[in-house]
């Protein structure tokens, strides 16, 4: 149990997916201009990462490994993720139109979000068991939402501040991210 | 547009990293050493050139084009993923240390926006040979950008330039001469964000300066 708590805490804060692993930088910079859109994107990512890591783990352990074709990992995983995103989209449209409306525009973007494929591969590389996979995937994505939300709050304020001309847009956002990364790197001492 | 322009536009005018800001994840993560940047560059060069060539070959026949059009994105992804798998296997077999240090970012070339972006924007509408040249130019432009960031980070962070394996230049004497020590922060994640921010800002500043000059000249006339 304590192992799981350590894993969860590491995934959530210490090895934050955006600030230390550099996965999912595109949505981090792209859809973090408003708090509401950051939250929407974050929830969509949570949904897809959780389902896709479970499906890819089962596929890898019971299909690819037993047939000893593990070298097809990358192709199989990306196909699973792409079709999953489509399925989630269709499913949500039918089951919960309100949620679909909120997440709809972010879903297609997720296929090319490297966080999803990255977490699926990291689960395999780190030899996680199924329970560990679920815990890791959910806390990694909670960390994603957490940092996205903080970042969006700062960026909303940033719109009203005088930024030097050359730093407008992406550069100043990256500097904010750097300051956040300094803060998060200090959490490493806790474990 | 002739072949030469087609090749060189990836370096300055349409540099994928500095102008279009695509493919951020690998460029921030692997630029701790010059060696890693070179390795990533070679991998992307191989994948992008061949994927552009193959996709443009697929799209150039009219019947196949009609057939593929509705499902073109999955088709692109399969082509790219197969090429990436080849790169992954070759690197694992012959370049073990590089394979270890690039880690998860080799399979992640599949979702690098540059490759899918070029397939959709260029390869699907141009001839196979032009597309291959475009891919080479874009990949070299990307490699150049990676090299700039990694040089900046490695020199400031550790005071060395690791070109390939044990082939490294030690710049420690300059640091000794100036009586300063390398700033370790630059090889940490913080340094990635900071260096990329400053390099982007410098490029923007140069652009603003040039535009001001141009408008001044125009108003003089």
Note whether A69 contacts B: Cβ–Cβ < 8 A: no
Q: Is B102 strand, coil or helix?
A: helix
What whole-number distance in Å separates Cα of residue B3 and Cα of residue A9? 53
> Which residue, among A171, A183, A186, A187, would best test binding to B if mutated, counting the most B CBs under 10 Å from its CB?
A171
Domain boundaries, chain A: 2-190
| CA A153 remoteness from chain centre | 18
DSSP A65: T
Cα(B27)–Cα(A113) distance, rounded to whole angstroms?
A: 15
The closest alpha carbon to B118, from B2, B42, B30, B22, belongs to B22
Q: DSSP letter for B31, please.
A: T
Q: List, for residues B127-179, the tens digit of each pLDDT value.
A: 889 899 999 999 999 999 999 999 999 888 888 888 887 778 887 788 888 88
Residue B179 gets the label, from left (phi > 0), alpha (psi -120 to 50) or beta, of left
Q: Is A73 on the interface with B (CB under 8 A)?
A: yes
Calpha distance A10→B141 (Å, rounded): 36
Higher-pLDDT residue of B165, A133? A133
Q: Answer whether B205 sits within 8 Å of A73, measured CB to CB.
A: no
Residue that wins the pLDDT comparison between A101 and B216? B216
Closest CA to A137 of A61, A62, A51: A51
For residues B41 and B59, give the distance between their C-alpha atoms in angstroms, rounded to a whole number: 26
Q: Are B16 and B145 in contact (CB under 8 A)?
A: yes
A137 HSE (CA, 13 A, CB side): 29
Cβ distance B27 to B195 under 8 Å?
A: no
Chain centroid, CA B8 distance in Å: 14
Q: What is the distance between the alpha carbons of residues B120 and B80, in angstroms, rounded to a whole number?
A: 12
Per-residue pLDDT at A136: 94
Determine the pLDDT at residue A37: 80
**Sign of the C-alpha dihedral computed for residues B87, B188, A172 and A155 taken in this order:** positive
β-pairing verdict for B167-170 and B160-164: antiparallel
Q: What is the ipTM of this complex?
A: 0.84
Query: Which of the four pLDDT bands, split at 50, 70 and 90, describes residue A191?
Result: low
Contact list, A77 vs chain B (CB under 8 Å): 107
- Top residue of A14, A78, A185 to mutate, by most chain B CBs within 10 Å, is A78
**Per-residue pLDDT reduced to its tens digit, A142-172:** 999 999 999 999 998 888 888 888 888 888 9
Is the CB of A181 less than 8 angstroms away from the CB of B110? no
User: Residue A145 has what pLDDT?
Assistant: 92
What A150-158 contacts at long range (C-beta under 8 Å, 24+ apart), as own/partner pairs, is A150/A180, A151/A28, A151/A32, A151/A38, A151/A176, A151/A177, A151/A180, A152/A32, A152/A33, A152/A34, A152/A35, A152/A37, A152/A38, A152/A39, A153/A35, A155/A32, A155/A33, A156/A33, A156/A34, A156/A35
Helix, strand, or coil here: B185?
helix
CB atoms within 10 A of CB B181: 10
Q: Compute the distance between CA of residue B103 and CA of residue B26 in angstroms, rounded to an integer.
A: 11
Residues 45-74, chain B, touching A (beta carbon < 8 A): 73-74
pLDDT digits over A84-125, tens only?
888 878 887 888 787 777 776 677 778 777 889 999 999 999
Residues of B in contact with A112 (CB under 8 A): 111, 113, 116
The answer to whether the CB atoms of B24 and A25 lie below 8 A apart is yes
**CB of A170 less than 8 A from some CB of B:** yes
Which secondary-structure segment (H or E) carries A47?
helix A35-59
pLDDT, position A104 = 65
Contact B197 A174 (CB under 8 A): yes
pLDDT for B114 beyond 70: yes
Does position B103 have pLDDT exceeding 90, yes or no?
no
Minimal-distance CA residue of chain A relative to B209: A166
Rounded Cα gap, residues A73 and A59, in angstroms: 10
- How far B155 CA sits from the closest chain A CA (Å)? 19
DSSP designation for A33: S
| Predicted pLDDT at B168 | 80
Q: Hey, which bits of chain A come out as E strands? A: none
Please indicate whether, in this complex, the C-beta atoms of A25 and B107 are within 8 angstroms of each other: no
Distance of CA A122 to the CA centre of its chain: 12
Task: Tell me whether residues A171 and B21 touch, CB distance under 8 A.
Answer: no
Q: What residue in B sits closest to A22 (Cα-Cα)? A: B25
Which residues in chain B touch residue A19, judged by CB atoms under 8 angstroms apart? Answer: 189
- What residues does each domain of chain B span? 3-220
């Amino acid at each position: 149990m304590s192992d799981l708590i350590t894993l969860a805490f590491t995934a959530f804060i210490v090895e934050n997916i955006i600030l230390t692993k550099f996965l999912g930088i595109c949505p981090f910079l792209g859809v973090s201009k408003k708090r509401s859109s950051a939250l929407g994107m974050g929830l969509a990512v949570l949904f897809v990462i959780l389902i896709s890591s479970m499906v890819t783990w089962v596929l890898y352990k019971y299909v690819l490994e037993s047939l000893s074709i593990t070298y097809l990992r990358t192709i199989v995983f990306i196909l699973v993720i792409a079709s999953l995103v489509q399925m989630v989209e269709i499913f949500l449209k039918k089951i919960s139109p309100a949620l679909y409306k909120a997440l709809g525009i972010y879903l297609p973007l997720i296929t090319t979000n490297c966080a999803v494929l990255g977490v699926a591969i990291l689960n395999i590389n780190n030899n996680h068991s199924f329970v560990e996979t679920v815990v890791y995937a959910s806390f990694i994505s909670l960390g994603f939402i957490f940092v996205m939300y903080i970042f969006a709050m700062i960026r909303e304020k940033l719109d009203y501040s005088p930024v030097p001309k050359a730093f407008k847009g992406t550069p100043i956002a990256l500097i904010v991210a750097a300051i956040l990364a300094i803060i998060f790197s200090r959490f490493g001492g806790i474990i | 547009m002739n072949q030469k322009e087609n090749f060189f536009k990836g370096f300055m005018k349409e540099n994928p990293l500095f102008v279009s800001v695509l493919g951020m994840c690998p460029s921030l993560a692997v630029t701790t050493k010059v060696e890693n940047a070179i390795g990533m560059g070679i991998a992307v060069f191989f994948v992008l050139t061949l994927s552009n060539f193959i996709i443009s070959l697929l799209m150039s026949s009219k019947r196949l084009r009609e057939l593929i059009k509705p499902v073109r994105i999955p088709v692109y992804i399969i082509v790219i993923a197969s090429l990436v798998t080849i790169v992954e296997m070759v690197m694992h077999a012959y370049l073990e240390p590089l394979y270890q240090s690039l880690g998860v970012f080799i399979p992640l070339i599949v979702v690098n926006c540059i490759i899918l972006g070029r397939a959709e924007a260029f390869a699907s509408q141009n001839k196979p040979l032009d597309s291959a040249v475009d891919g080479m130019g874009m990949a070299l432009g990307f490699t150049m950008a990676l090299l700039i960031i990694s040089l900046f980070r490695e020199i400031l962070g550790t005071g060395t330039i690791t070109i390939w394996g044990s082939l490294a230049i030690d710049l420690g004497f300059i640091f000794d001469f100036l009586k300063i020590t390398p700033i370790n922060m630059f090889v940490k994640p913080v340094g990635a964000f900071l260096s990329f921010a400053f390099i982007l800002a410098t490029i923007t500043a140069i652009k603003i300066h040039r535009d001001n000059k141009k408008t001044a000249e125009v108003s003089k006339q």
